[in-house]
Structure 1
């Protein structure tokens, strides 16, 4: 037991260095650096086309559901023609990244469906989206597949389906009128399930195209990015709240992950939603099952949940199908803090430090097969319904003064984390360390 306790000790030290901008950072850090992680472990930062790029009326772009952007097809479909200027923009971007030693990870769909497809047939409300997305994905693989080896089909299908079609606070802005009076149309009890169903089938169709594309290298991989919270019972002594945790995990993770792993939805969701939940045919189930090489996880925080005793069954809704009460609060910046206060983002540094510590333990102690860690995000940007009031970037963007960028303390910390001295651990040595750790568990 003593040996196990010693092995669990994490040594802390205090780091101090000059930032080169007249600032000196001093805060607790760990001896971890990028070389503490397995060989070929990827570190990176994330961005999103619509949230970053702007240039609304340039480069052949047309309307998307988030107002004014679509990537390659001005009319939304391959048959409507290709925006060659837009394609060249992304080719240039990919080349520039590679020339600077940066490995591009490409997400095909990050919530910016062409408005033309929604006008024509309701986009993801219709099964017609499956073939259009298949064609779009095939085009991307053919155009960029020789230089991109890591692909993601969809970003956060849960958020897209629930916020866009149950709560109505993100595009598409659809929901039942009694949920949100600003929603012009929608059905919160059926549309989230229908949208996610078509999204999963579109994902699987894209993966089929990926796996037979001759431009894709043999070591290339494709997956999907989910956004599950972790949950804890609001009342630790309540069995009902403990069961609520299981339901929360099922609805937040199992809704999309279970079809990918097992070919079908969880029984809990089938029972709760009834005939409002679409069914997979045998062929669809086989197509969706195992349609991934990796699963990305966008993790934000954890939540407390309690069993909800007061659900109005006469008003069915995805959110109330879970019979949950979420106990949480938002801690967003209100836009009144100064630039200097935002740049001194100690909490963001602590967040990354602690999560990297726990991630390292999960890999070494539990053998979790984690391949990378990406921060959101590189720059402050347009955070959907929160606009520009929320700043998640490692770099501060001065929106009032020519979009000048200033490195926050977190950017400097992350840079030093990646550059800190250390040598890559050979794979055999890494495996030996894991075997050593497992051996300690037997003491």
Structure 2
């Protein structure tokens, strides 16, 4: 799947041979006269090849893959690649059915990128683990995940010479996770969505991750307690969103108050427009009636002397 997008950019401007061959063969077996996979022109290949600054990768878990031949009548992405995936039941689970905790796979994929694409600069743009069910601020599983995965990334850099430039955790706080909503929580900070102020409450993993940042890695236990492991005084405090004032009609209001005032002003304007339209209608109606009715003087007989 990575090669689908990366091979043209990092290799030669074109899809890999195995991808072109499989899709062409399956397309012909379906009765088509050519491959369903679009083809790049030579000018497009030259234009695409090498157009990168770094390799950005989201990585969470690892799977086991095996060959699976689909009937030629089946036309789909899975049938084209001819691969099925499973997980080892001994791997620790998470709050997401698809995410098993597999630190060893992190080092392997980083090394694969190095070997496949000539050791490009790599930034891990997402990495993390979810929890679901009852809220537990002592998230020891997430701490284990972070320690293990980051340590595998460290091995890839120091032992394997992978050009890993950066690592970004998913995510700072619990958020809306697509179809699963708020049930799967990836955040270092728990967000209480039943509280209107939405306080951010740090989990134990927030303190652990902060120590990795302060220490720029893992201090050697043989050297004794390192000063960077000291927790700041406010490390365990609950964080509430700060009030952000905005100008509104010469006043400085909070965002909620400004929004309410804006809706109120809009409602009054709408009411005024409706009232003006009604009065205009009544005026026009009365004017029309006055023009159609003859005056009393026109109806009375006039005597001449």
Q: TM-score, normalised by structure 2?
A: 0.51
Q: 1:299 to 1:411 in 2, by over 3 A?
A: same
Q: After TM superposition, give the deviation of residue 392 of structure 1 in Å.
A: 0.7
| Residue of structure 2 equivalent to 1:268 | 18
Q: Counterparts of 2:132 and 2:60 in 1: how far apart (Å)?
A: 24
Q: After TM superposition, give the deviation of residue 294 of structure 1 in Å.
A: 0.3
Q: After TM superposition, give the deviation of residue 315 of structure 1 in Å.
A: 2.0
| Residue of structure 1 equivalent to 2:183 | 389
Contact 1:333 1:389 in 2 (8 A): no
Q: 1:356 to 1:421 in 2, by over 3 A?
A: closer
* SS of the residue 1:371 aligns to: strand
* SS of the residue 2:179 aligns to: helix
Q: Counterparts of 2:186 and 2:150 in 1: how far apart (Å)?
A: 18
Q: Counterparts of 1:307 and 1:325 in 2: how far apart (Å)?
A: 6
Task: List structure 1 runs of 4+ shifted beyond 2 angstroms.
Answer: 328-339
| Residue of structure 2 equivalent to 1:305 | 65
- 2:169 maps to 1:420: no
- Structure 1 runs not aligned, ≥5 long: 1-251, 423-443
Q: Counterparts of 2:53 and 2:158 in 1: how far apart (Å)?
A: 22
- 2:4 maps to 1:255: yes
Larger RCO (CA within 8 A; separation ≥ 6): 1
Q: 1:318 to 1:293 in 2, by over 3 A?
A: same
Let me know the Cα RMSD of the aligned residues: 2.2
- 2:65 maps to 1:315: no
Q: After TM superposition, give the deviation of residue 312 of structure 1 in Å.
A: 2.5
Q: 1:299 to 1:316 in 2, by over 3 A?
A: same
* SS of the residue 1:291 aligns to: coil
Contact 1:306 1:324 in 2 (8 A): yes
Q: Between Structure 1 and Structure 2, whose CA radius of gyration is higher?
A: 2
Q: 1:300 to 1:421 in 2, by over 3 A?
A: closer
* SS of the residue 1:306 aligns to: strand
Contact 2:133 2:183 in 1 (8 A): no
| Residue of structure 2 equivalent to 1:369 | 163
Contact 1:255 1:266 in 2 (8 A): yes
| Residue of structure 2 equivalent to 1:405 | 200
Q: 1:397 to 1:317 in 2, by over 3 A?
A: same
Q: 1:286 to 1:313 in 2, by over 3 A?
A: same
Q: Counterparts of 1:333 and 1:287 in 2: how far apart (Å)?
A: 40
Q: After TM superposition, give the deviation of residue 421 of structure 1 in Å.
A: 8.1
Q: TM-score, normalised by structure 1?
A: 0.36
* SS of the residue 1:302 aligns to: coil
- 2:45 maps to 1:285: yes
Q: How does 1:45-64 map to 2 (within 5 A)?
A: none
* SS of the residue 1:284 aligns to: helix
Contact 2:23 2:37 in 1 (8 A): yes
Q: After TM superposition, give the deviation of residue 356 of structure 1 in Å.
A: 1.6
Q: Counterparts of 2:133 and 2:20 in 1: how far apart (Å)?
A: 47
Contact 2:95 2:132 in 1 (8 A): no
- Structure 2 runs not aligned, ≥5 long: 25-34, 98-130, 218-305
Q: How does 1:38-437 map to 2 (within 5 A)?
A: 252-261=1-10, 262-274=12-24, 275-309=35-69, 311-328=70-87, 331-332=94-95, 337-339=133-135, 341=136, 343-402=137-196, 403-420=198-215
Q: How many residues align?
A: 168
Q: After TM superposition, give the deviation of residue 268 of structure 1 in Å.
A: 0.9
Q: 1:348 to 1:331 in 2, by over 3 A?
A: closer
Q: After TM superposition, give the deviation of residue 418 of structure 1 in Å.
A: 1.3
